[in-house]
Structure 1
Amino acid sequence: MTRMSLRLAAGALAASLTLAACGSSDTASDDTTSTTGTGGALSVAVTDPGQLIPGRQTVAYDFAMAVWAPLTWVDDASNLTYIQAESVESDDATTWTITLKDGWTFQDGTPVTAQSYVDAWNTVAYGPNAFENSGQLAHVVGYGDLNPAEGEPTTTEMSGLTVVDDLTFTVQLDGADSQFPMQLSQAQTAMYPMPESAYDDLDAYNTHPVGNGAFELTNDYVENEPLVLDAYADYQGEAPTVSQITFVPYTDTATAYTDVLAGNIDVSDLPADKMAQAEADFGDHVYSFEAAGISYLGLPLSDPRYADVRVRQAISMAIDRDTINDVIYGGLYTPATAFTPAIEPGTPEGICGELCEYDPEGAKALLDEAGGFAGSMEIYYPGGVGLDDLYTAIANNLRQNLGVDAVATPSTDWAEFYQTRLDGDAPGPFFSRWGALYPSQQNTLRAFYVENGGCANCIPWYDPEVASAISAADAQVDGTEAADAYGAVQELILAEFAAPPLFFETYNFVTSDRVAELTTSAVGNPDYAHTVLAEDA
C-alpha cells in the first residue's frame, strides 16, 4: 500500500507565520512560461458540484483548485509560497498589503488586478447573495455592514478593502491575525478572484466560470454531466503535468471505486466501506494522505434530551473507535483524542482523555446518573457515500452499551443531508466533519465553534468565551505561541463537550494503472494539475 504522510512540523509552520510574509519564492510556482500541459488526460470521480463559483461551492474544491490559482500555497512540507501574490506583508498582523504578480490573466484574456480581488470578495461577503463561503471573509472590517443582524445592508462594499493600484490592495482585519497569509491559500476558495464579466449574470457564470488558474472549462456545466478542463495556454504559474482533466460526477462512491478498478476512470475517493479491502484490490495504487480532517458525531443540542453534559459524554464513551477503525477503515484512521486533527501544530493530543476511550460500563453508569435517555435515537448521515457501515456500527454500540433504541438512517443523497443539517432539522445525532482549508488549529476551531465559521450547524454550540479565546490565539504573532494558544482553547471545549470527536482522518484515494504518482498538498486534496501519469498512459 502506498502511504504518503503529510506531517506538519511545528517549527516549519512557525516559520511560515512570520508577520512579514514576503519575498519571492524560488519554487516552480514562479515559473511564468506558458504551457498547454506536458502530459495526457486524467479523469477523476467527483460528487456533482451544483455550485462552481468558488465563493459558493461546497464540494467542488478540486475543480476550483484547477480553474483558479490562489494568492498563496502551503506545500506538503508546510512551507508558505506564492502563486498569484508577489508578497503578503503586515507590520501589525491587522492591516495586510497584498501585491500581485504582473502579467496574469483570466482565461477570457482580461488582466487579473487588485480590483478583481476586491470586487470578488465584496460579492462573496454581500449577505443577500447568500454565498456559502461568505464566512471565510468574516474578519475583514466591514463584513458586518454587508451582513446586518436585521434588514438589508446599506452598502455593497467592505470598508476594510482598499485598492492602492492595479496590482496592490490592502486588507484591514477586525483584529490581529497571524494566520492570514495561510487563509489566502488553495482551499479557501472565497478568496479567489473573478473577472469583470462574472457580475453581468452570476447564474450564467456558474454555468461556465472563468478563473485565473492552470485549466479552463471547455463545456458548460450541466447537472450530472462531466466537466472537461483543458490546460490554459497563457497560465503564468507552474506548468501542469497533465493536459486535460475531466471531472466525472457519481452518485455512488462504490460505483466509482469499481470503475477505477476496471480502468474506466483514473482516480476516486476511497469509500469508507472499501478501506479494508482496498489494498487487496489496488496494491500500491492506494494513496493515504495524512491530512487535517476530523470527524465528530454532531448532536441536536436543541433537543433537551442532550442538554446534560453527562449524556453527551456517555455517548462518546460508548463508541468503540478502535474496533471501528480496524474493521471498517482498515486501520487508516486514528481514533480522535482531541478536538482538532493531530496534524495541526499544537493540537493537545490526549486532552479528551477517558471521554474518548471505549468504556461501555462507565458510559452506562454516566447515562444513568443523568437520568437515562427517553425515546428512540435516529442517527442521520448522508447516503450513497460509503458511510453505512460506520453509522450502523455507532448505532449498534449505543444500543448495546447504553440500552438506547438507536438506529442509523441515511439521507437520499448529500444535498438532502446538507440542507437538513443547515436548517437545524437533523432528527438525532448526525454526521459532522471538517477538513481544514489550511493547516492550523484556527481553521478547525473556527469552522466548528464560531458561528458562520465554515461548517454550519456541524456542532451547533457557539460559546462567547470560546470565540474570545480563539481571537486571543489569532493575535499571537509567534507561530509556536499561536499553536499553544489554540491548544488551550480546547480546555474550554472539553468542559462542555458539545459533541464527541470520532477520528483523525486521512484522505484516501485509489487510482488506475495510468497514474504513476498522485501528488498532494498540506490540505490533503490531490494536486491533480501535477499528477504524474504512467509513460504509456
Structure 2
Amino acid sequence: MRHRLVPLAATIAALALLATACSSGGGTGDDDGAASGEPTSFSIAISEPDHLVPGNQYVSYEVVTSVWSSLTTIDPDSAEGWVPLVAESVTSDDNVTWTVTLADGWTFHDGTPVTAQSYVDAWNYTAYGPHAQVNGGQLARVAGYDELNPAEGEPTTETLSGLAVVDERTFTVTLVGPDSQFPLQLSDAQTALFPLPESFYDDPEAFDRMPIGNGPYAMTEPWVDNEPIVLEAYADFPGEAPLSDRVELKPYLDMNTAYTDVQAGNTDIVFVPASRIGQVEADFGDRVRSYPSPGISTLGFPLEDPRFADPRVRQAISMAVDRQALSDAIYGGYYTPASAVTPEAMIGSPTGLCDFCDFDPDAARDLLAEAGGWEGPMVVEFPGGSGLDELYEAIANQIRQNLEIDDVTAQPTTDWAEWSAKVEAWEVTGPHFARWGALYPSMQDTLRNMYTSAGGCYNCTQYSSPEVDDLLTQADAAPSNEEATELYIAAQREILSDFPTAPLFNDAYTFALSEHIEEVDAISGSIVLSRVSVHE
C-alpha cells in the first residue's frame, strides 16, 4: 500500500491556501461584553470542513481540536516536551507497553464520563480498515493494526490486540516495537487518538454533523455545509477554562478574502496567505503573530537519475540557493533558513548541522566542477496552483546564475493532484518541492516519514538507509529523552552525509489580528482557540 505524500492539512497550511485563520464578524464581538457581563466572543475563518469525526477529518483541525481535548499536550518547557492533559499519567517500563491512566472528572458534552473504554472503542473503530477513517494510520504502531488492515481480503477481527482496558480510568497500549516518543504522539494534533462517547456508535453520520467531544468548547447546532459553526464554552470542562465564551467558525474559499475582512474589521484573525505575507506588517503593524511550526521545506532530487547521483551535484545546488534572500523577498523574513534535517520547532532539534545549506556560490561552482559539471537543461518542479510560483522561479534563477548553468527553468504541474501522481510514480526529473508537516514536535516524525522506506513522504525523497534505520530504531528504544535526542541527531548526520535532499526553510505560521483581539497563544504554530482573549 502506498503512503500519502503529506498530511493534507499540513500541506494546506504550508501552501497558505486554505489554512487556519480566525475571524470575528462585526456582530459577534463586543468590546464591552466582558465588563457588562455579556458573553465574550470572536469568530474564526476556516476552510470548509470535510468531516467532524476526529478520526476521519483532513481539514477540520480548528473545530475538532476545540471540541476535543487530547491525552497529553505539548509543553516545550517541560523535561519531556509534554505534560498530561486528559491523562493523569502515561508510563512504560520498556517503551513497548504503555499504561495510560485518565485524570478524574472528565466528561463528554452530553454529561457521560470519559473512560478507558471511550478510548479503546474509539481507537478500534478508527483503526478498522473497512471503516475507511482517513486518520487510521495514526494507530499503525499499535499491535494488531496490520490485522485490521490486511493487504488482501477483509480483516478477521475488529479490535486491536495491543489495547486492553484495565479499569474505568486505565488502559494499556502495546506497540509493535519500542517507541520513546509515544506520549508526544498522544498530544494535540493526532486527532485519531481522541475518545468517542457511546452515542457515536448509534449514528456515526449524525454524529459527524453534531459531534460530542470532551474539549473546552461544545457545538451548539449541527454543522451545515458552507455555514458558520458556533461553539460555546463547556461549563463542566475540568481543564483550564476558555478565555472567550463563544467562537464562530466561518468557512472561506479564499484566505485572501478573509485577509481583507480583517482589514475591514469584520474578522479577527487570519492565517496570512503567501500572497500577502510580504505586506502584512505594513497592513497590521504590531497585530502580527508568527510562530515556528513543526514543518520543513526541502529541495528533493530524483536520486535514481544519473545526473544527480553524485552528492556533490546536490550539495552544489543547495549552496547556490540564498535562503535568507528568498525568505526576505517572498516570506517577509518569517521563514528561517533550515540548517538541519528537522525544523527548529522540534524538541531537541539541532541548528548548524548542514554545512551545505550555507549560501556560497563560489564553493558551489567548485563542487559542481569537481563532480564533472552539468550538461543540458535543468527543470525545477513544483505543484502548480499552490502559491509557490514566485519561490520556485526564484530558486531556478539562483541556480542558473550562481552555478552558471545556461538553461534552468521552473515548471509547475497543473494542480496538486497532478503533482501527487507525478511524485507517486517517481516521474519528477529535477530538483523539486518536498515538505513534511509533522503532527507532533518530535524529530522522529520528520525523520521516519521523510527518510525511511515506510515513511509517508518517502516518495518525496526516494531515500532510505540501513544506517539511518538502525539509528532511528535505537532512538525509539532509548530509555531517556536525552539519549533519544542524541540518536535522532546522529541519524540526521548520517542523512546529511548522503545529502539526499537540500533543507530549505523552517516553516512558520503567521497570523494577522483585528483590533478586537487582545492576545492569542499557539501550540506547534497553530493558534489555540480556547486561549484567544478579546478586549474588554
What TM-score do you get using the length of structure 2 for normalisation?
Answer: 0.83
Aligned residue in 2 for 1:11: none
Distance 1:383 1:52, change over 3 A: farther
1:254 deviates by 2.4
Contact residue 141 and residue 158 of structure 1 kept, 8 A: yes
Q: Which of 500-509 and 131-140 deviates more? A: 131-140
Aligned residue in 1 for 2:54: 54
CA deviations over 1:112-157 (Å, ceiling 9, x no partner)? 2212211222233233444333332222222222233444332222
CA deviations over 1:445-480 (Å, ceiling 9, x no partner)? 223224555557443434444233212101112222
1:99 deviates by 1.3
Say which of 83, 100, 103 aligns to 2:102: 100
1:291 deviates by 3.6
Say which of 219, 230, 249 aligns to 2:232: 230
Distance 1:137 1:510, change over 3 A: same
Partner amino acid for 2:412? T
Aligned residue in 2 for 1:387: 388
Mapping of residues 124-203 of structure 1, within 5 Å: 124-200=126-202, 202-203=204-205
Distance 1:259 1:187, change over 3 A: same
Aligned residue in 1 for 2:412: 409
Matched, 1:69 2:69: yes
Aligned residue in 1 for 2:41: 41
1:182 deviates by 1.8
Q: Distance in 2 between matches of 1:75 and 1:185?
A: 10
Contact residue 135 and residue 191 of structure 2 kept, 8 A: yes
Aligned residue in 2 for 1:398: 399
Structure 2 SS opposite 1:241:
coil
Structure 1 SS opposite 2:44:
strand
Q: Distance in 2 between matches of 1:408 and 1:270?
A: 25
Contact residue 346 and residue 486 of structure 1 kept, 8 A: no
What TM-score do you get using the length of structure 1 for normalisation?
Answer: 0.83
Q: Distance in 1 between matches of 2:482 and 2:284?
A: 40
Mapping of residues 242-261 of structure 1, within 5 Å: 242-261=244-263
1:39 deviates by 5.0
Aligned residue in 2 for 1:483: 485
Q: Which of 268-277 and 364-373 deviates more? A: 364-373
Q: Distance in 2 between matches of 1:483 and 1:441?
A: 8
Matched, 1:321 2:358: no
CA deviations over 1:473-496 (Å, ceiling 9, x no partner)? 011122222111110001221133
Structure 1 SS opposite 2:54:
coil
1:286 deviates by 0.4
Partner amino acid for 1:92? D
CA deviations over 1:12-38 (Å, ceiling 9, x no partner)? xxxxxxxxxxxxxxxxxxxxxxxxx99
Structure 1 SS opposite 2:56:
coil
Contact residue 242 and residue 529 of structure 1 kept, 8 A: yes
Distance 1:327 1:199, change over 3 A: same
Q: Distance in 2 between matches of 1:263 and 1:424?
A: 47
Q: Distance in 2 between matches of 1:152 and 1:478?
A: 39
1:416 deviates by 6.9
Structure 1 SS opposite 2:100:
strand
Q: Which runs of 5+ in 1 are unaligned?
A: 1-36
1:335 deviates by 0.7
Structure 2 SS opposite 1:276:
coil
RMSD: 3.0
1:303 deviates by 6.0
1:204 deviates by 4.4
Aligned residue in 1 for 2:333: 331
Contact residue 298 and residue 432 of structure 1 kept, 8 A: yes
Contact residue 393 and residue 409 of structure 2 kept, 8 A: no
Alignment identity in percent?
A: 51
Aligned residue in 1 for 2:18: none
Distance 1:318 1:252, change over 3 A: farther
Q: Distance in 2 between matches of 1:49 and 1:167?
A: 32
Partner amino acid for 1:393? A
1:65 deviates by 1.4
1:73 deviates by 1.4
1:305 deviates by 5.5
Distance 1:54 1:468, change over 3 A: farther
Aligned residue in 2 for 1:120: 122
Contact residue 180 and residue 475 of structure 2 kept, 8 A: no
Q: Distance in 1 between matches of 2:147 and 2:217?
A: 35
Distance 1:60 1:373, change over 3 A: farther
Aligned residue in 1 for 2:526: 525
Q: Distance in 2 between matches of 1:197 and 1:308?
A: 58
Mapping of residues 458-477 of structure 1, within 5 Å: 458-477=460-479
Partner amino acid for 1:282? F
Structure 2 SS opposite 1:397:
helix
Q: Which of 226-235 and 419-428 deviates more? A: 419-428
Q: Which of 271-280 and 66-75 deviates more? A: 271-280
Contact residue 86 and residue 99 of structure 1 kept, 8 A: yes
1:230 deviates by 2.2
Aligned residue in 2 for 1:25: none
Partner amino acid for 1:525? S
Partner amino acid for 1:181? P
1:75 deviates by 2.9
Distance 1:83 1:264, change over 3 A: same
Q: Distance in 1 between matches of 2:218 and 2:421?
A: 30
Q: Distance in 2 between matches of 1:233 and 1:415?
A: 43
CA deviations over 1:345-370 (Å, ceiling 9, x no partner)? 443322220x2122345545655636
Q: Which of 418-427 and 122-131 deviates more? A: 418-427
Q: Distance in 1 between matches of 2:337 and 2:160?
A: 42
Contact residue 296 and residue 504 of structure 2 kept, 8 A: yes
Q: Distance in 2 between matches of 1:208 and 1:370?
A: 63
Contact residue 308 and residue 370 of structure 1 kept, 8 A: no
Partner amino acid for 1:240? P
CA deviations over 1:166-203 (Å, ceiling 9, x no partner)? 22110112233222222211112121112233345545
Q: Distance in 1 between matches of 2:154 and 2:381?
A: 37
Distance 1:118 1:316, change over 3 A: same
Matched, 1:441 2:443: yes
Q: Which of 470-479 and 491-500 deviates more? A: 491-500
Mapping of residues 249-328 of structure 1, within 5 Å: 249-299=251-301, 306-328=308-330
Q: Which runs of 5+ in 2 are unaligned?
A: 1-36
